[in-house]
Amino acid sequence: MSGPILLCFDGSEEAAAAVDRAGALLGGGEALVLTVAVPAADGFPLDPLGDLVGKLSGVYREWDEICLEVAERHAREGCQLAGRVGLDARPLTAIGKPVPTILRIADEHDVAVIVLGAHRGALGGLLGSVAAGVVHRARRPVLVIPHA
């Protein structure tokens, strides 16, 4: 592999299983453990008036700060899991919508492969929306690991 492995980690059981399996499948090496913090403005589908209230009241700012703290904690936890399976991992957090953010980080770090855990889609599909979006838009290999 030329670049590091990008392990997408959101703290879920599926993501933990993906990190574990990626270590077994891809062997040792460098890894980035990415957790994406979704800003309140992107995460809450509010009407224009509600959006204005969220911004002016400081609720969005507080939400964003909490999300970033949680993302940083998840990235560190993911690194611990990666270390247990022989990967030399470092944490990475980014703010944005998950799919474009994952793809941007993958390009910026010229990763060899993007690894995600598979979440069940809302309608019982095999992939959740993030995994499906990354698979369909990525310009590099993507490994989606199903949760047993």
Amino acid letter for position 107: D
Asked if residue 47 is part of any domain, the answer here is no
Asked if residue 44 is part of any domain, the answer here is no
Q: How many domains does the chain have?
A: 1
**In this predicted model, what pLDDT tens digit does every residue of 108-138 receive, in sequence order?**
999 999 999 987 655 445 567 899 999 999 9
Asked if residue 125 is part of any domain, the answer here is yes
- Domain span holding position 31: 5-38+72-145
- Choice between 137 and 44, residue whose per-residue pLDDT is larger: 137
Residue 107 scores a pLDDT above 60: yes
What are the residues facing 31 on neighbouring strands? 5, 89
Asked if residue 50 is part of any domain, the answer here is no
- The whole-number pLDDT of residue 124 equals 47
**In this predicted model, what pLDDT tens digit does every residue of 1-37 receive, in sequence order?**
589 999 999 999 999 999 999 999 998 899 999 999 9
Q: Which residues contact residue 110 at a Cβ distance below 8 angstroms, ignoring those fewer than 6 apart?
A: 2, 3
Instruction: Give Dmax over CA atoms of the chain in angstroms.
Output: 51
- The whole-number pLDDT of residue 39 equals 84
Q: What element of type H or E holds 59?
A: helix 59-84
Contact criterion met (CB below 8 Å) for 37 and 9: no
Asked if residue 57 is part of any domain, the answer here is no
pTM: 0.86
For the CA atoms of the chain, what is the radius of gyration? 16
Rounded to an integer, what is the distance from CA 57 to the centroid of its chain? 29
Asked if residue 86 is part of any domain, the answer here is yes
